[in-house]
Structure 1
Amino acid sequence: MSIDVGALLLDTVPFARTLGIVYDEVGDGRAICHVPDREDLRNHVGGPHAGVLFTLAESASGAAVLSMFGDQLGRAVPLPTTATIGYRKVALGEIRAAARLTVGREEVVAKLDAGERPVFDVAVDLTNADGAVVSTLTVTWTLRPNRAA
């Protein structure tokens, strides 16, 4: 059974719908999504607000996590724990996020199997329409084991 990660996130995360995030590609620990250029999302310099950039990147990282560990949702909840963002240049227009896990599935699932709470990073690059990197993020995630009822 496979899940449509983009549809799942749009159904369960209303803010992603508010921003108009589009999930273009999701699978194998990677995700690509974008947010359209909208006047109501712009900041004082004419580009997407920093909050839009962060939310786009965090959403892409979550999609990448779910694409790799969606089959583990019955026993663990994926949660972001920290994020570091670097703003490299002014973002303008439509922005694209490309996220990728920096750890292998086997290592994370082995920690869950051992009763541990795995912690791992997802790297995200945000680019303008011309492909220039405008921001980079590292989002640290955990899979919190479900509590016994």
Structure 2
Amino acid sequence: MTESKTSLADWLTATVPMVRTLNLEYLETGADRAVLRLPDQPEYHNHVGGPHAGAMFALAESASGAVVLGAFGDQLSRAVPLPVTAQIHFRKLAKGPVTATATLGRPAADVIAELDAGGRPEFEIAVAIQREDGAVTGEMTVVWTLRPNS
């Protein structure tokens, strides 16, 4: 992990209480991709012994937010990133630790150009949630916006 990636992960861990509550681990952060891990923790299990749906939602949304800050952190002086909508699909039973891999769905330069033109750009982040064996247990799409500061 590079210095800037470490700084982003440290900053998010320090400023987002849910990250600390769930003990989320930042495995990779960047401008177009982030990977976070939710350790296997019995206190966050559901009725079938896997991670609770709420914990997996928080994991995936946190991964999407890491991509947003990786891609647009240099725009924070003029715009606030906010999630607009999120949709999650649970595909298979999750057991044990799971990872969420989030990917920016639109070139960052296009989003910034729209912001430069006075718009309030929206963009998707796709997230895959996987078990340790590689099976995709869930997929999430989060639509984010950069809301210009008043």
TM-score bucket (shorter structure)? over 0.9
Please point out which of 12, 37, 48 is paired with 2:51: 48
Tell me the TM-score normalized by structure 1. Answer: 0.96
Q: 1:30 aligns with which of 29, 33, 41?
A: 33
Q: Tell me the residue number matched to 2:82.
A: 79
Do the aligned residues in 1 keep the contact of 2:94 with 2:137 (CA within 8 Å)?
yes
1:103 is the counterpart of 2:103: no
How far off its partner does 1:80 sit? 0.5
In the alignment of these two chains, the number of paired residues is 147
Q: CA deviation at 1:2?
A: 4.5
Where do 1:129-140 residues align within 5 Å? 129-140=132-143
> Aligned to 2:9, what secondary structure does the other structure show?
helix
> How far off its partner does 1:28 sit?
2.3
Structure 2 residue aligned with 1:118 = 121
Percent identity for Structure 1 against Structure 2: 54
Tell me how far apart the structure 2 counterparts of residues 111 and 95 of structure 1 sit (CA, whole Å): 35
Q: Measure the CA separation in 2 of the matches of 1:112 and 1:102.
A: 17
> Which residue type is aligned with residue 136 of structure 2?
V
- Using structure 2 for the length normalisation, give the TM-score: 0.95
**Distance (whole Å) between structure 1 residues aligned to residue 63 and residue 140 of structure 2:** 11
CA contact (8 A) 2:31 2:69 kept: no
Gaps of at least 5 residues in structure 1 are: none
Partner of 2:144: 141
CA distance in 2, matches of 1:26, 1:50: 23
Partner of 2:71: 68
Which runs of 5 or more structure 2 residues have no equivalent in the other structure?
none
Report the Cα distance in structure 2 between the residues aligned to 1:59 and 1:96, rounded to whole angstroms: 11
Q: Residue type matched to 2:133 in 1?
A: D
Amino acid at match of 2:68: V
Q: Distance in 2 between matches of 1:38 and 1:21?
A: 11
Once the two structures are TM-superposed, the CA of residue 94 in structure 1 deviates from its matched residue by 0.2
Instruction: Give the CA deviation at 1:136.
Output: 0.2
1:127 corresponds to which of 130, 139, 145 = 130
